[in-house]
Structure 1
Amino acid sequence: MLTSLRNYRNRITKYAVLVAMAVLAIGTGVAQDAAEREGYFEVRSATTEVLGGVHTLDARLQLVLSSEALAALESGVTLTIELQMQVIRVRRWLMDDAEAELAIRYELEYRPISQRYIVKNLNSGEQDSFATLYSALNSLGRVQGLPVIDDALLEPDSNYRLRLRAMLNTQQYPATLRLLFFWRGQWQLQSEWFEWSLER
């Protein structure tokens, strides 16, 4: 009972800190210029290849946190970074059809006692630890050999294109915070769609 109460109080404290930072836009003291403090996500490149009958993804992303998101992270708030992918069948006379959608979610957490950044893949449960935020974000930005779709599920005579984007997902927070984030540009971190043709 005491443990549950303590955990509840910890969650409330984290959300209270997050609200204060979102409203007051507390600075982080990190050496970044004005453009970087806004933060941005960008898909730099993405390709697929077939391995064992499965299309796998290699991608490079640039992930820069805004000052508010960074301050929240260093205050103990876990951030969720999500990769969204679509497999779209190209049709000549009809609208293109999104035949498959994939979402890969990662949690980014800072542990002040050990001074380590933890990256956890919520889809697979795999977890890694990093000494610096740079190395943690660099790891998140290097996608290698990610299974996307079995080639047998695709129409043999059809052409397909793929789309990929990265975003900061805030759906795990209470509704009041999500409403606040909607009006805070520094929490609207989302890349443009990166699109390419699927080679078979």
Structure 2
Amino acid sequence: MMVSSTPCCARPESARRWLVALLLGVWLALAGGGALAAEKSAVRQAVIRATPQGYVIDGDVNIVLNSTLEDALTRGINLYFVLELEVTRPRSWWFDESIGEATRKLRIYYHLLLRRYVVENGYTTRTAATLAEALAMLGRIDDWQVLERGALKTGHAYDARLRLRLDTSQLPKPLVIGAVGGDRWELATPWYGWSFDAPALAAAPASSP
């Protein structure tokens, strides 16, 4: 009677290979998941509403800086951003009608003496102790006047899109020219688009006699 046997070293070797493959798979999954979970700059929300003076936009932009831009801030370099809004009226028989465009310039920098971040958003200037707080301020849009009275017809449908981008033309030229990999000095959110019905204008406050 013949009895087959497995060499004593075969099973441990097979187990080691299986364990290595398992660990490699887990590492790749974690690495891939981390890359997918990495935050990117994006417009989170935006809405156009009516006021007695016309139409304003409120919104929120999540701004994520890469290490190059963060380092530039801590060295006292100003970063300028531009908010860009486009409003159109869809037409089935022709190209969409352009209703209006608006831009707003923003700035953030680190005050080396105060050791605080300074944020200029429209006509408002505020300071923050941390970069996270400063970026939240920079990305907050409140009461931005974008269209005058009469620009929209109440109840009609319109399309809008909004984005934020770094104004690279304002960066110090030696930094941009000397940088290896120019994409490190670029930041732009995807266009955030939405449709809305024009709201009725709010009544103007009555003037006192």
Query: Is the pair's TM-score, using the shorter chain for normalization, greater than 0.5?
Result: yes
Q: Deviations over 1:104-140 (max 9, x none)?
A: 111101012210101123x53x311111111111111
Task: Give the corresponding residue for 1:68.
Answer: 68
CA distance in 2, matches of 1:159, 1:167: 27
CA distance in 2, matches of 1:182, 1:155: 50
Gaps of 5+ in 2: 1-33, 199-209
Task: Give the corresponding residue for 1:20.
Answer: none
**Preserved contact between residue 111 and residue 117 of structure 2 (Cα < 8 Å):** yes
User: What is the 5 A alignment of 1:187-198?
Assistant: 187-198=185-196
User: Structure 1 residues 181, 41: CA separation in 2 closer, same or farther (over 3 Å shift)?
Assistant: farther
Task: Give the corresponding residue for 1:117.
Answer: 117
Gaps of 5+ in 1: 1-33
SS of residue matched to 2:169: coil
Task: Give the corresponding residue for 2:127.
Answer: 129
Task: Give the corresponding residue for 1:186.
Answer: 184
SS of residue matched to 1:152: coil
User: Structure 1 residues 181, 46: CA separation in 2 closer, same or farther (over 3 Å shift)?
Assistant: farther
Q: State which of 166, 169, 172 in structure 2 corresponds to 1:168.
A: 166
Q: TM-score, normalised by structure 1?
A: 0.71
**Preserved contact between residue 83 and residue 162 of structure 2 (Cα < 8 Å):** yes
SS of residue matched to 1:138: helix
Residue 83 of structure 2 is aligned to residue 83 of structure 1? yes
SS of residue matched to 2:170: coil
CA distance in 2, matches of 1:96, 1:84: 18
Larger radius of gyration: 2
**Preserved contact between residue 53 and residue 152 of structure 1 (Cα < 8 Å):** no
In the TM superposition, residue 103 of structure 1 has moved relative to its aligned partner by: 0.9
**Preserved contact between residue 39 and residue 67 of structure 1 (Cα < 8 Å):** no
**Preserved contact between residue 159 and residue 195 of structure 2 (Cα < 8 Å):** yes
2:101 alignment partner AA: E
User: Structure 1 residues 56, 185: CA separation in 2 closer, same or farther (over 3 Å shift)?
Assistant: same
**Preserved contact between residue 42 and residue 62 of structure 2 (Cα < 8 Å):** yes
Deviates more, 1:190-199 or 1:62-71: 190-199
CA distance in 1, matches of 2:173, 2:114: 32
Q: Deviations over 1:35-55 (max 9, x none)?
A: 59x973200111121121522
User: Structure 1 residues 84, 179: CA separation in 2 closer, same or farther (over 3 Å shift)?
Assistant: farther
Task: Give the corresponding residue for 2:51.
Answer: 51
Percent sequence identity over aligned pairs: 29
Q: How many residues align?
A: 164
Aligned-CA RMSD value: 2.7
CA distance in 1, matches of 2:196, 2:111: 40
